[in-house]
Amino acid sequence: MNFHQKGFANVILVAVIVVLLGAVGYFVFVKKPWPTPTSTPIPDGETTDWRIYRADKYGVSFSYPPNFRIVTDKIQVEYIGHPNGFNWYRIELTDTSATEKPFMRFEIDPDGYGPFFPDKIYQVTENSDGKIVIGSVNIGGSENSSDGKVLIIPNVLESSNGHSYYWQFSYNESGKDHEPLFKQILSTFRFLGRPEGNELTKEVVLSLLKNDLFEECRPERIVGKYGSCAVDISEEAEKWVVVVIYDGLYDDSAKATRIQTTVMYQNGQWAKGSVSKTQQCWPGRGHQDFSAEACL
């Protein structure tokens, strides 16, 4: 190598060193870390290729990745010796691509048995769109599991559709990347409304109140009993307020009677709350507003 070739090589070497020093200075002084190879989690909402599970009978649907498989989809019967039998609906999913199979267990209207020592507890609620919102995460009773597995449970969720829901996530500690995925699966749960045919109608209301009504409720006059009867149903924050008013009573003191209650859809059926009865007096016979006080 002659002098000119050697000098040219030195220039190239100096240029490379300057470029490297510039890169180091950029990451140090601009405070941007060196990129490290990591697995890329699925961004929120990027579930276009996910499969959808839907159970209208139990008021729920959710999505899960294509590499997951539903391994159980049945009515589970355990504790046969118990007088009630404990029947409930259970679904289990597992990641077929994982060496050590994690699983997600999902139960509808569970019996409430176990597990007693989860590693983490998600506090979940239902938002106005019928979806799960994950709140705080609490450390459970066995943060350092002796069996090498991590067990996560969200609290039992009492949905506005009348069903309750329960989950268990379990995976080996070597598969920690599954926890964000399980949380994303959980976030896809959507609680469906009441099944078709289970609308709160006037007929349903009158059936619920049959022991509280003093007469059959009809809109037309019933001679010798009342002038008219009306049923009003209004929805307020996941419950229905029901008011039945008998007006024009054939009574010399009370002009009208109002019967009021709240109704909710729970455990697959309509249920009424406490019932109140008030009355309105004829002019000159007492109060003109509905009140529990007797008329004169």
pTM: predicted TM-score of the whole model, two decimal places: 0.49
Do 60 and 190 contact (CB within 8 A), yes or no? Answer: yes
Q: Is residue 15 part of a domain?
A: no
Same domain, 184 and 263: no
Do 153 and 121 contact (CB within 8 A), yes or no? Answer: yes
Same domain, 63 and 171: yes
Same domain, 139 and 118: yes
For the beta carbon of residue 112, count every other beta carbon within 10 angstroms: 11
Q: Is residue 83 part of a domain?
A: yes
Same domain, 117 and 136: yes
Of 142, 168, 191, the last residue of a domain is 191
Q: Is residue 111 part of a domain?
A: yes
Same domain, 165 and 209: no
Same domain, 160 and 250: no
Same domain, 164 and 88: yes
Q: Which residues of the chain have pLDDT under 50?
A: 1, 3-6, 23-24, 26-44, 80, 82-84, 143-144
Of 168, 191, 214, the last residue of a domain is 191
Q: Is residue 34 part of a domain?
A: no
Which pLDDT does position 224 carry in this prediction? 92
Q: Is residue 31 part of a domain?
A: no
Structure tokens at 148: 């090498």
Total number of domains constituting the chain: 2
User: How many C-alpha atoms does 219 have within 13 Å on its Cβ side?
Assistant: 3
**What is the DSSP track for 99-142?**
SS--EEEEEES------S--SEEEEEEE-TTSBEEEEEEEE-S-
Burial class (CB in 10 A: 0-12, 13-18, 19+), 59: buried
Q: Is residue 21 part of a domain?
A: no
Residue 268 sits in a domain whose CATH number is 3.10.450
Residue 172 sits in a domain whose CATH number is 3.40.1000
Same domain, 101 and 225: no
Which pLDDT does position 3 carry in this prediction? 43
Same domain, 187 and 221: no
Instruction: Give the residue numbers spanning the domain of 160.
Output: 51-191
Q: Is residue 289 part of a domain?
A: no
Contacts of 261 (CB under 8 A, 6+ apart): 208, 209, 212, 241, 242, 272, 273, 274, 275, 276
Which pLDDT does position 31 carry in this prediction? 38
Same domain, 86 and 154: yes
